[in-house]
Amino acid sequence: MKRITSIWFTPPDTGAARAGAEDGARFLSGCSTLVQRVAPWYAATRRLALTSIVIWGLAACATTSHLDPKPLSSPTATQAVRSATKDGVRVTASILNDAEAQKNFGVDLASRQLQAIWVRIENGSQLRLWFLVAALDPDYYTPHEAAFLFRDSLSDEDSERLTRYLTAHSPRQAIEPGQSTEGYVITKRTEGGRYVHVELAGHEKLLRFGFAIPLADGSFDFEGLIPNQIYAGLERPDLSASELRSALRRLPCCTRDSSGEGLGDPLNIAIVGSFDEMMTALARSGWSFTHRITLGTVGRLVEATISGEAYRVAPVSSLYVFGRPQDVALQRARSWISQRNHMRLWLAPFRFEGRAVWVGQVSRDIGVKLTAKGPSPTTHVIDPYVDEAREYLLQTLLHHHKVERFGFVSGVGKTTPEHPFTNLSDDPYFTDGLRLVVVLAQQLMPPHQARNFHWEELDIPDPGPPQHSTEIAAPSGAPP
């Protein structure tokens, strides 16, 4: 029996369909007693799953045919296309969303958790270059492997046609001087976008290209962010290193709730770099985009919490600095919804050496608990040692060669496990009280070449419980 995954199919045989429906009904009836003994939410979930099985069983009687992949074409202007040129070599990349991939290939890549990355390489150098596909994704799928995943939904003829198409539209790995190649690399599907890393090797030469490519679906927080409009029409002062240190020390100790009264997690990081530089550095280091809080994403969050499954772009609740919720949030997820590192970032009302400054909060989630204090009935429990998440951020950036300079300034103040502070969810935390400051490298920089500001902040006194610090002076007319 074949499943329908292509957009072309023939109707199921009606007799077989009726028999399948009767078998499915008897199966559901036999399971109803057991289902009714469990919690109501679990029963509803179970019934939905069993109904899906019946629908799948009906569809399994059909076969697909007339697979008709479309000719190769470059991504349209509506897609996020990124390009860069080095030493006469130009690389352009984009990611097809699920609908575009189905239109292009004639099969639903998302149904097999696949994704197509389009790459074009123009070799204007005098060297023969090799495209190192494994550097883009060490778990990429070969054309035969990807096509084989659809063997249960395609006829033999269409399966062969798909294999030939994927093979013909894969980029060549060897690119001669003056030549170009383009095509699709099939990878494991991600939501929201990904960091696309392209390496080209030649004789005594290695060229690296990296792009943080968003893949919008209408629910990600980055989709509505226009950094230049946050302080539109206002001049943000450009600070020296000593002025930056003073400005960061004057920031409030912590994030706040929407009323500005309750104190949340401590402000413990600052990142210097443009929005694109920051998103590229973090995506390269394994951080992913996050969904906004909507009815749909909250429902998915609750479902993932109940099932224990991953939700790698799960929404992050809003906290406030400068009188507004975070401008963007990111996370480094694990295989369980309850475990992740996450950060919130706000564009600061000042610059450093002409570059944007983002201040924020980072912590590690280690569990989930019920709450009545937010838009979702569940919230994460943070690791009480919040400095570990701060150090983890620095280490991921160093490991991926994205740190030019770093240092520490005083922030929330010292506290201990015996006398911790608490956040808005009543989670205790303790810290050495410092804020990490990272200036992003504009070119790849090995960890041993990253410079330390050597701001001596380690011997700061214990200020006692965090207070409502005075906000740093913003430009006249800026958001409070």
Residues 173-183: pLDDT tens digits?
999 999 999 99
Instruction: Report whether pLDDT(45) > 50.
Output: no
Are 397 and 351 in contact by the 8 Å Cβ rule? The answer is no
- Grade residue 69 by pLDDT with cuts at 50, 70 and 90: low
**CA-CA distance, 278 to 333, in Å (whole number)?**
18
Residue 8 vs residue 256, higher pLDDT:
256
Are 239 and 247 in contact by the 8 Å Cβ rule? The answer is yes
**CA-CA distance, 74 to 81, in Å (whole number)?**
10
SS3 of 348, please? strand
Q: What is the mean pLDDT of residues 181-192?
A: 92
pLDDT score recorded for residue 474: 45
Residue 86 pairs in a beta bridge with 89
Instruction: Report whether pLDDT(362) > 70.
Output: yes
Give per-residue pLDDT as tens, 123-151.
999 999 999 999 999 999 999 999 999 99
Instruction: Report whether pLDDT(109) > 90.
Output: yes
**CA-CA distance, 65 to 84, in Å (whole number)?**
41
In sequence order, what DSSP letters do the residues of 363-376 get, joined into one string?
EEEEEEEE-SSSSS
Instruction: Report whether pLDDT(34) > 80.
Output: no
- Grade residue 376 by pLDDT with cuts at 50, 70 and 90: low
pLDDT score recorded for residue 146: 95
Amino acid letter, residue 270: A
Residue 174 vs residue 216, higher pLDDT:
174
pLDDT score recorded for residue 267: 94
pLDDT score recorded for residue 121: 97
Q: What is the mean pLDDT of residues 88-94?
A: 96
Residue with tokens 């499943």: 3
Q: What is the mean pLDDT of residues 354-374?
A: 77
pLDDT score recorded for residue 168: 93
Give the Å distances, CA to CA, from 260 to 52, 271, 348, 407, 424. Answer: 46, 24, 18, 29, 12
Joined together, the tokens standing for residue 227 give 């950094």
- Grade residue 13 by pLDDT with cuts at 50, 70 and 90: very low
Q: What is the mean pLDDT of residues 159-180?
A: 95
**CA-CA distance, 132 to 117, in Å (whole number)?**
14
Are 245 and 452 in contact by the 8 Å Cβ rule? The answer is no
Gyration radius (Cα) of the chain, Å: 26
Give the Å distances, CA to CA, from 421 to 275, 384, 425. Answer: 32, 9, 11
**CA-CA distance, 246 to 242, in Å (whole number)?**
6
pLDDT score recorded for residue 141: 96
Taking alpha carbons only, the member of 258, 316, 318, 308 closest to residue 291 is 316
pLDDT score recorded for residue 62: 38
Q: What is the mean pLDDT of residues 365-386?
A: 63
Q: What is the mean pLDDT of residues 297-321?
A: 77
In sequence order, what DSSP letters do the residues of 318-333 get, joined into one string?
--EETTEE-SEEEEEE
Are 403 and 439 in contact by the 8 Å Cβ rule? The answer is yes
SS3 of 441, please? coil
- Count of CB atoms situated within 10 Å of the CB of 219: 18
Instruction: Report whether pLDDT(203) > 70.
Output: yes
Top mean-pLDDT range of 123-132, 155-164, 231-240, 412-421: 123-132
**CA-CA distance, 86 to 210, in Å (whole number)?**
12
Are 268 and 431 in contact by the 8 Å Cβ rule? The answer is yes
Q: What is the mean pLDDT of residues 347-364?
A: 95
Joined together, the tokens standing for residue 350 give 């000042």
Select 82-215's CATH number: 2.60.40, 1.10.600, 3.30.70, 1.10.3470. 2.60.40
Give me the chain's average pLDDT, please. 78
Q: What is the mean pLDDT of residues 76-83?
A: 71
- Grade residue 366 by pLDDT with cuts at 50, 70 and 90: low
**CA-CA distance, 142 to 35, in Å (whole number)?**
42
SS3 of 100, please? helix
- Grade residue 79 by pLDDT with cuts at 50, 70 and 90: low
- Count of CB atoms situated within 10 Å of the CB of 323: 13
**CA-CA distance, 76 to 96, in Å (whole number)?**
10
Joined together, the tokens standing for residue 474 give 């913003």
**CA-CA distance, 477 to 480, in Å (whole number)?**
8
Top mean-pLDDT range of 62-66, 135-139, 257-261, 437-441: 437-441
Instruction: Report whether pLDDT(44) > 50.
Output: no
Instruction: Report whether pLDDT(20) > 90.
Output: no
Amino acid letter, residue 380: H
First to last CA, the chain: 63
Domain boundaries, the chain: 1-66, 82-215, 221-452
Name the helix (H) or strand (E) containing 98.
helix 98-105
Strands 451-452, 403-410: pairing kind: parallel
pLDDT score recorded for residue 339: 60
Q: Where are the alpha helices (DSSP H) in 258-370?
A: 275-284, 295-307
- Grade residue 409 by pLDDT with cuts at 50, 70 and 90: very high
Top mean-pLDDT range of 59-73, 245-259, 291-305: 245-259
Name every residue whose Cβ is closer than 8 Å to that of residue 334 and which is 6 or more positions away in sequence.
310, 340
Q: What is the mean pLDDT of residues 220-239?
A: 87
The pLDDT > 70 percentage for the chain reads 72
pLDDT score recorded for residue 192: 82
Taking alpha carbons only, the member of 253, 445, 225 closest to residue 346 is 225
**CA-CA distance, 366 to 371, in Å (whole number)?**
16
Residue 384 vs residue 388, higher pLDDT:
388
pLDDT score recorded for residue 226: 85
pLDDT score recorded for residue 480: 41
In sequence order, what DSSP letters do the residues of 203-235 get, joined into one string?
TTEEEEEEEEEEE--S-BGGGG--GGGTTTT-P
- Grade residue 207 by pLDDT with cuts at 50, 70 and 90: very high
pLDDT score recorded for residue 222: 77
- Grade residue 166 by pLDDT with cuts at 50, 70 and 90: very high
